[in-house]
A and B are shown apart, each in its own frame.
Chain A
Amino acid sequence: MAATLSKIEQAKAELCGLELAPRLGDLAAQGWDKLDEATLTIRLKWLGIFFRPVTPGRFMVRLRLPNGVITANQLEVLADAVDRCGEHGSADITTRQNLQLRGLLLEDMAPLMEAMQAVGLTSQQSGHDNPRNITGNPLAGIDPEEIVDTRPLVEAIQQRLLAADAPRNLPRKFNIAVGGAPDSFLLHNDLAFLPADHNGELGFTVMVGGFFSAQRNELAIPLGLWLRADQLANYSLATLRHFERCGNRQARNKSRLMYLVDELGLEGYREAVLEELVALGGEAVPHSGQHHVNRSPRSGLGVQPQKQEGLNWVGLGVPVGRLDAASMAELAAVARRHGSGELRFTEAQNVLIVNVPAEGVEALLAEPLLQRFQPEPGALMAEAVSCTGNRYCSFALIPTKTTAQAVVEELERRLELPHAVRSHWTGCPNACGQPYMGEIGLMGAKARHEGQMVEAVKIFLGGDMGADPKLAELHDKGVPLVLLPDVLEELLVEHFGARRRAAA
């Protein structure tokens, strides 16, 4: 039987990466290039530690931040870790409301894990074939439009899924999210719980099968089940147990949940998971799939009143989600100085400082950090989302983040836009930057230009995360990067109401 397993499946079956945790110090002493390939590139990801072939010897750590919530104390610990890496250190806010730290040595891992544990952080199972960071409404608990506070639900799901008896060898990665507001667009997740009524009671309808990949892109579809809030953790566990047992382990490019749904049929899949749920003592009822999510996500930027009288959140645009040690430490200090010391990360890779008393807003807005992370960034920068790019990822065909930032800045110099335009930049067809969700999607490519093969992008248009969601479609299959500002300028004028600024 074992002989039929792929290399990856063999590596996972032989040893669970979590068992490496107590040996991190020893592994560092041996040197990273003494580690076998499976440990280096697969098993360490169970601890959230990523070998980066593009920066050999300098590792990445991906956290788990349920619902994107982080405290100033926690952020300070992470800033300290990045700071130790000097010019090699940086951090990215991810599209899963999460944070990943770059530039770390293997020697840093044992003390970092200990420091994170001391402040209630973990990076457990944040990579590879695991349930990834669980997302929720970034405004949970403070949102005047909130339907339900997603924080305790997301926390409960994480606790259940990281418990010792939960699956640790899924066939593939698995994304889960919980919606809590009318703008909780979550259909790109394998499993999404959207707020919905059943017989006048508020609970969640279950959506399954959303994912993006190089082969196929799908939005999640209604499974036809409704759950009470207290059932979400059990249901997630039931789903993962079934996926662990029945998911496709032969072809990794056909192993996301939607393929299993296809294989069993929606009804067959529903019955199978229900059986698993009942075995866990849980319950669900049939449902139409109607839910309360009906519009595109708000950016959350700027000064906004919370539902708590006299308190505000202040959303700051972080250009393409990139942070350095100094800005992380300063964000923590600002959150502590002007708010309650809590921050939130959004799926658009921005940050919110919450619980800012009305009388403290002015002082916060005067902080020097806000010159860099602006509460009211330009209409393009506000919602420019980007994957890592080829500086750190060997799949990427272009330097996504730096390209996105440079092009967006150039376009904002040239154009005035009547409203924000969401652009999603990704370096390769794996689509980590979710190009199909953007009003404009851009995917790294190669194209011929003046007789040379050059870095380029494909352009997708029309992604919609509103009441009638749809994926962006291919508009142009290869625009060389050197021509991109001009091409996008035309598009923005033609399709998005942009006006050219008068020449200086």
Chain B
Amino acid sequence: METTVISALLELSDSTDRWQHLQLLRRGRLPAQPWLEQIEQGEICATADVLAALLGQLNRAGVERLLRGPVGRDPAALLEAARRELPSMASALEVQQAWVEPLLAQPPTAPWLELIGLFRDPRGAARLRMALEAADPADPAQANAQRLLPLLGRQRQPQDAALLLELALAPVPLAWRRAALEGLAVGLSAWPLQPLADGLQQLSLDLDPGLAAQAVDLLARLPDGQRQLRQLQGKTLAPSVVDRWRRRLQRAPLVLVVHGRQAGVIPEVLQQLAADLEQSRSAPVLVQALTATSPEADERFWWAARRAGAISLVPLLLLPGDHARSDVPAIARHWRQRAAAAMLGDVVVRRRPFLGAWPQWQHLLADLLAERAGDRPLAWLHHPLQGALSARYLSHLAAVLGHPGVATAYSDPQAALAAQPQPPAVLAPLTLAPNRLSESLNMGGCSATAEVLPPLLTLPTVHRFLLAQLEALP
């Protein structure tokens, strides 16, 4: 009687009815025993969808019966069903009790190893390990064994990290290496940290960009992942992997403090620098004019700050005047207050030295001026500064640049230049962006008697330098 009913159900012309009956079986609303009997007797075909519905409904005796019959002799359909169905139920005690021992009683060959690997069990792990240690990845006939690697990872036995890493790094077919890396991924938190980090760093440099990219992603997930990622700085990564590496670095948002124009307007070259930086750092960049109120920081800025644990304040100021000495500390205090108000308890505001103090900047400037001036006399022009500290800085800079500096009022540089014993042939206004000084020089007749260099940031070399230096900040 049952035979007729089940066979009829499965042969129904409408496949929705078949699907619905199998759902009832899967949910335990139909008794499993008649199905098992008819599979044993060959009265219904044990297709993958039938077995998928039956898997969770059998006890140990039922599984043993199933494996003794046609399903055990040709387990292909069982394997297909198990791949789809078992992962969500393999942790259920009753399912483990039903399946693990009967599967361990099977020979340690391909389909049975994969089936036992779907359960997390030390005996199963040992079998997978043994099989993989004996496998030869170079033998195409053994290609299926690579399927065991993610299953070994899921067993999360710390001693298996070595085998998975070895295979991920070995000169074996790519499919094996990827499977080994996926094994590392799905058991990530179980592996000993240092060998894992070392191995992933090595894999990040791999010639296969897919493998290297996943290694970078996994490094980023480790407890000290940011430090590990920073150690890849300067290493030879594939271009697509470099992009990924940049995206994984949790860089602090930047606040660039600059001289604004009237009413706090930010010159376009500085805005462009900020936009380029934002793209290359994959982190927000704000530009704050000294004389204007702080720019709005949106939720993305605060999220990046929280993620990185910091906000970096970079004064793009070329001289140690009052702005650098008084205004910048005040701006930093203000950002600390804002971070506290945004309830970012662990976020620190890191204040970087003003740009003019960076040795690399001074050397770049020296090279640039030397190149532009050649043998001609050059003077660099700057705003007058007060105090001993400023005087020491100016004297130091003049020594590094090999040219004298001339302090001048921005509105009337002619007067200061007229007082020079030897008229300079090249004038270099010490400013990143167009300002009153650069404009006065060009409009006031200076350009007729001397070459006036443009604002520094309009020079591609300077733009590239700042982009590289600021991009490298954590």
User: Chain A's nearest CB lies how many Å from the CB of B340?
Assistant: 16
> Can you report 10 residue pairs joining A to B where beta carbons are below 8 Å apart?
A37-B91, A56-B87, A56-B186, A57-B186, A77-B303, A84-B217, A84-B220, A105-B185, A118-B307, A394-B85
A201 to B150, CA, bound (A): 62
Does B461 have its Cβ within 8 Å of any Cβ on chain A? no
Inter-chain contact A446/B15, CB cutoff 8 Å: yes
- Nearest residue, chain A, Cβ from B89: A37
- Contact residue among A29, A85, A119, A447 (Cβ-Cβ distance under 8 Å from B189): A29
Does A359 have its Cβ within 8 Å of any Cβ on chain B? no
Inter-chain contact B19/A397, CB cutoff 8 Å: yes
A164 to B108, CA, bound (A): 52
Inter-chain contact A84/B91, CB cutoff 8 Å: no
Inter-chain contacts of B88 with A (CB < 8 A): 37, 40-41, 51, 53, 56, 394
Does A80 have its Cβ within 8 Å of any Cβ on chain B? yes
- Nearest residue, chain B, Cβ from A7: B28
- Nearest residue, chain B, Cβ from A214: B20
Chain B 234-246: CB-based contact to A (< 8 A → 1; otherwise 0): 0000000000100
Restricting to A82-131, which residues have a CB under 8 Å from any CB of B? 83-87, 105, 107-108, 114-115, 118-120
Binds A, one of B66-74, B294-302, B327-335: B294-302
A73 to B85, CA, bound (A): 38
Inter-chain contact B303/A118, CB cutoff 8 Å: yes
The 6 A-B pairs of least Cβ separation, nearest first, read A56-B87, A57-B186, A73-B300, A53-B88, A118-B303, A445-B15
Inter-chain contact B299/A120, CB cutoff 8 Å: yes
Inter-chain contact A428/B19, CB cutoff 8 Å: yes
Inter-chain contacts of B47 with A (CB < 8 A): 453
User: Chain A's nearest CB lies how many Å from the CB of B307?
Assistant: 7
User: Chain A's nearest CB lies how many Å from the CB of B95?
Assistant: 8
Inter-chain contact A53/B84, CB cutoff 8 Å: yes
Inter-chain contact A118/B299, CB cutoff 8 Å: yes
Given contacts A84-B217, A115-B307, contact A53 B210 (CB under 8 A): no
Inter-chain contact A56/B299, CB cutoff 8 Å: no
Does B156 have its Cβ within 8 Å of any Cβ on chain A? yes
Chain B 303-318: CB-based contact to A (< 8 A → 1; otherwise 0): 1001100000000000
A443 to B15, CA, bound (A): 11
- Contact residue among A31, A53, A118, A443 (Cβ-Cβ distance under 8 Å from B190): A31
Inter-chain contacts of A71 with B (CB < 8 A): 299
Does A311 have its Cβ within 8 Å of any Cβ on chain B? no
Given contacts A73-B299, A107-B188, A119-B300, contact A477 B87 (CB under 8 A): no
Given contacts A37-B89, A53-B84, A108-B221, contact A73 B298 (CB under 8 A): yes
A294 to B72, CA, bound (A): 59
Inter-chain contact B13/A85, CB cutoff 8 Å: no
User: Chain B's nearest CB lies how many Å from the CB of A390?
Assistant: 8
Inter-chain contact A214/B154, CB cutoff 8 Å: no
User: Chain B's nearest CB lies how many Å from the CB of A200?
Assistant: 42
Does A36 have its Cβ within 8 Å of any Cβ on chain B? yes
- Contact residue among B18, B89, B154, B299 (Cβ-Cβ distance under 8 Å from A57): B154
Does A149 have its Cβ within 8 Å of any Cβ on chain B? no
Inter-chain contacts of B156 with A (CB < 8 A): 31, 33
Inter-chain contacts of B217 with A (CB < 8 A): 84-86
Inter-chain contacts of A477 with B (CB < 8 A): 13-15
Does B127 have its Cβ within 8 Å of any Cβ on chain A? no
Inter-chain contacts of B84 with A (CB < 8 A): 53-54, 394
Inter-chain contacts of A20 with B (CB < 8 A): none
Restricting to A15-55, which residues have a CB under 8 Å from any CB of B? 28-29, 31, 33-37, 40-41, 51, 53-54
Restricting to A412-454, which residues have a CB under 8 Å from any CB of B? 428-429, 443, 445-447, 453
- Nearest residue, chain B, Cβ from A446: B15
User: Chain A's nearest CB lies how many Å from the CB of B11?
Assistant: 10
Does B23 have its Cβ within 8 Å of any Cβ on chain A? yes
Q: How many B residues are at the interface, by size bracket?
A: 35 or more
- Contact residue among A37, A56, A107 (Cβ-Cβ distance under 8 Å from B92): A37
A107 to B189, CA, bound (A): 8
Does B323 have its Cβ within 8 Å of any Cβ on chain A? no
Chain B 149-161: CB-based contact to A (< 8 A → 1; otherwise 0): 0100010100000
Chain A positions near chain B (C-beta within 8 angstroms): 28-29, 31, 33-37, 40-41, 51, 53-54, 56-58, 71, 73, 76-77, 80, 83-87, 105, 107-108, 114-115, 118-120, 214-215, 394, 397, 428-429, 443, 445-447, 453, 456, 458, 477-478
A365 to B303, CA, bound (A): 30
Inter-chain contacts of A73 with B (CB < 8 A): 298-300, 303
User: Chain B's nearest CB lies how many Å from the CB of A334?
Assistant: 14
- Nearest residue, chain A, Cβ from B186: A57
Chain B positions near chain A (C-beta within 8 angstroms): 13-16, 18-20, 23, 47, 52, 84-92, 120, 150, 154, 156, 185-190, 210, 213-214, 217, 220-221, 244, 247-248, 298-300, 302-303, 306-307
Inter-chain contact B247/A80, CB cutoff 8 Å: yes
Inter-chain contact A34/B85, CB cutoff 8 Å: no
Inter-chain contacts of A29 with B (CB < 8 A): 189
Inter-chain contact B306/A118, CB cutoff 8 Å: yes
- Contact residue among A83, A105, A214, A446 (Cβ-Cβ distance under 8 Å from B23): A214
A120 to B298, CA, bound (A): 12
Inter-chain contacts of B19 with A (CB < 8 A): 214, 397, 428-429, 445
- Nearest residue, chain A, Cβ from B119: A33
User: Chain B's nearest CB lies how many Å from the CB of A397?
Assistant: 7
Inter-chain contact B91/A105, CB cutoff 8 Å: no
A35 to B154, CA, bound (A): 13
A341 to B299, CA, bound (A): 13
Inter-chain contacts of A77 with B (CB < 8 A): 300, 303
- Nearest residue, chain A, Cβ from B210: A87
User: Chain A's nearest CB lies how many Å from the CB of B74?
Assistant: 17
Given contacts A105-B186, A478-B15, contact A76 B210 (CB under 8 A): no
- Nearest residue, chain A, Cβ from B222: A107
A83 to B248, CA, bound (A): 9
The winner among A115, A118, A215 for most chain B CB atoms within 10 A is A118
- Nearest residue, chain A, Cβ from B18: A446
- Nearest residue, chain B, Cβ from A56: B87
- Nearest residue, chain A, Cβ from B189: A29
User: Chain B's nearest CB lies how many Å from the CB of A379?
Assistant: 29
Contacts A54-B84, A84-B221 given; 7 further ones with Cβ under 8 A? A71-B299, A73-B299, A85-B217, A87-B214, A118-B302, A214-B23, A478-B15
Inter-chain contact B214/A33, CB cutoff 8 Å: no
Inter-chain contacts of B13 with A (CB < 8 A): 477
- Nearest residue, chain A, Cβ from B190: A31
Inter-chain contacts of B120 with A (CB < 8 A): 31, 33-34
User: Chain B's nearest CB lies how many Å from the CB of A51?
Assistant: 6
- Nearest residue, chain B, Cβ from A29: B189
Given contacts A34-B120, A56-B154, A477-B13, contact A40 B221 (CB under 8 A): no
- Nearest residue, chain B, Cβ from A84: B217
Given contacts A86-B210, A394-B84, contact A35 B186 (CB under 8 A): no
- Nearest residue, chain A, Cβ from B284: A73
Inter-chain contacts of B154 with A (CB < 8 A): 31, 33, 56-57
